[in-house]
Amino acid sequence: MSNTQKSAFVATGLMLFALFFGAGNLIFPALMGQQSGSAVFPALSGFLITGVGLPLLGVIAIGYS
C-alpha cells in the first residue's frame, strides 16, 4: 500500500467516524428522550432518519461516485 493510499484510508476512516459519532449524535439523543415525553416514537423516527439515514445515504452516494 502506497503512502497516498494510506493517507486516503485514514482520512476516509476519520470522516466516517465523525459523520456517525459526532457530538450531536452522542449528546442530542439523551436530551431528546427526556424532552419528548409521550411522543417517543415520532422523536425516535425523526432522529433515526436525520442522524442515521441521511449520513448513510451520503456514504452510499460517495461510494457510487
Q: Per-residue confidence at 50, pLDDT binned at 50, 70, 90?
A: confident
Residue range of the domain that includes 27? 3-64
SS3 label, residue 2: coil
Total tally of structural domains belonging to the chain: 1
> What does the pLDDT look like over 30-46, one tens digit per residue?
787 888 888 989 988 88
pLDDT at residue 48 greater than cutoff 80: yes
pTM more than 0.85:
no
pLDDT of residue 29: 77
